[in-house]
Amino acid sequence: MSSSSAAPGRGDKAEKLPMRDALVAAAFRLFPERGYEQTTVDDIVALAGVGRRSFFRYFPSKEDVVFPDHERCLADMTDFLAAGPADGEPVRRVCDAARLVLLMYAENPAFSVQRYRLTQQVPGLRAYELSVVWRYERALAGYLRARFAGLPDGILRADVIAAAVVAAHNNALRSWLRSDGKGDAEAAVDHALEHVREAFTAGPVPPVAEGPDDVVVVVSRRGAPLWRVVRELETALGNG
């Protein structure tokens, strides 16, 4: 997916960029120089060469300029999930949806790494980021809840899988960010998400050999413990 965030330090004059990007670029030039808390909206608009009204047209708060693409990415994720085939594999679909977030970060590694460092330094931004992550998780869980509707523990399963997808994605993403954006971020996230898919997707049905002697019938009393039924079945199959 595309990301319009301007890379920090790209060019000397923020005003050459589109207004939204100019505001992001100005903010990330000021934050390292003055500190996040000390940088005001007035400072940002002055460097970008626009007015306060222009800032709030694009960003409801100073926190939002730090995460300029998450709203768009969340909308893209929601649309992606809604467009999935009704008979598709739901776990694979949510894993693919999570990759949209990774692509947003990987498109501009320098900006993503600088933002990661900033959020680690400012507790308020870390809390804001966690609220954004929660919204991604809720989007994934909402899709899975609809797919698992009517199944035993459908809501529980949906919520657990959504949490696992987010945890796997973030583990790989943050490792990449801590490495200053070195390495293959997509491969790392794919590897992490594959663990989720393998854990929560039923494996293929083993092939059944052809022939009249392949049917085995086991008769057991109603209410017999499951372990006893399994043992009788293994004995009948010659595995006991």
Contact 101, 73 (CB under 8 A): yes
Q: Does the domain spanning 69-200 belong to CATH 3.30.1120.130?
A: no
Give the model confidence (pLDDT) of 53-108 as tens digits.
999 999 999 999 999 999 999 999 999 999 989 889 999 999 999 999 999 999 99
Ranges of H-type helices in 148-184 = 154-178
Tokens of 7: 């890379």
Quick one: average pLDDT of 15-41? 90
CATH of domain 14-62: 1.10.10.60
Rounded CA-CA distance 103/220 in Å is 54
Checking if the pLDDT of 235 tops 80, the result is no
Residue 217's pLDDT band (cuts 50, 70, 90): low
Residue 114's pLDDT band (cuts 50, 70, 90): very high
Tokens of 28: 């990330």
Rounded CA-CA distance 138/143 in Å is 9
Nearest C-alpha neighbor of 229 from the set 216, 237, 221: 221
Q: What residue spans define the domains of the chain?
A: 14-62, 69-200, 213-240
Give the model confidence (pLDDT) of 137-191 as tens digits.
999 999 999 999 999 999 999 999 999 999 999 999 999 999 999 999 999 999 9
Structure confidence at residue 206 (pLDDT):
39
Q: How many CB atoms lie within 10 A of CB 20?
A: 20
Tokens of 142: 């909402």
Residue 201's pLDDT band (cuts 50, 70, 90): confident
Mean model confidence pLDDT for the chain? 84
DSSP, collapsed to helix, strand or coil, labels residue 87 as: coil
Looking at the chain, the number of H-run helices and the number of E-run strands are: 11, 0
Give the model confidence (pLDDT) of 119-140 as tens digits.
999 999 999 999 999 999 999 9
